[in-house]
Chain A
């Protein structure tokens, strides 16, 4: 158990809908990362928050947004969903914001858009 908790584990929704994925980082970790994993793209970095502030952005679509709350949990919002958004979404956390230390991953949320 990595200590990172993601909910829900599975989500099935229709095209055009909006969903929210939730992540609780490991105790003491201030940095949260969101990744998307699909069969043909591997692990793609979406966005990073550190202590409530956005720190880095990757290949995140404008239809997607995220935030980190004062209690350090984070939410990833996906809207106007398309079939191609079906993927595994992982949250990871680390103590430092710098990317050169180990990041701990949650078990992921499997999103299926039908």
Chain B
């Protein structure tokens, strides 16, 4: 499929490394945050979410950290695999909005 991230920030890692993808969100009052993974030619796929009353949440091989002081979100992927290669988007739900606002995305490239 055609890539959607030709001009995105890119993180290149080796298989087995831990990856950290960062995101700066825009609205300090946003109370819900979510990470999506988008593989080439496919729709965004849910990875993990976190609400503003938490600063850390763990899933399978993934951890999301929320720093409300500096409006920063990060996604940590443990033992990165070639199948993790994709574009990763963070999104926030600002107060009064019934939708998600997406960041620009980061491309993760995993080398065997």
Which A residues form the contact surface with B (CB < 8 A)? 2, 4, 31, 33, 35, 37, 39-40, 42-43, 45, 48, 50, 55-56, 58, 88, 90, 92, 97-108, 110
- What's the Cα separation between A99 and B101 when bound, in Å? 9
Please list the 7 inter-chain residue pairs (A to B) with the smallest Cβ-Cβ separation, ordered nearest first: A105-B43, A100-B32, A43-B102, A99-B98, A99-B93, A100-B93, A105-B44
From B4, B32, B45, B99, A56 is in contact (CB under 8 Å) with: B99
Which A residue sits closest to B34, measured CB to CB?
A102
Question: 19 interchain pairs (CB within 8 A)?
Answer: A2-B43, A31-B98, A39-B7, A45-B99, A45-B101, A48-B98, A50-B98, A55-B98, A56-B98, A90-B43, A98-B98, A99-B32, A99-B93, A99-B97, A99-B100, A100-B32, A102-B34, A106-B43, A108-B43
- Cα–Cα, bound, A59→B6 (Å): 23
Q: Is B71 an interface residue (CB 8 A)?
A: no
Number of chain B residues whose Cβ lies closer than 8 Å to a Cβ of chain A: 27
Q: In the complex, A98 Cα to B4 Cα: how many Å?
A: 27
Taking a contact as CB atoms under 8 Å apart, the answer to whether B93 and A39 are in contact is no
Residues of A within 8 A of B44 (CB): 43, 90, 92, 105
Chain B residues within 8 Å of A50, by CB: 98
Q: Pick the contact of A102 from B49, B89, B101, B105 — CB < 8 Å? A: B49
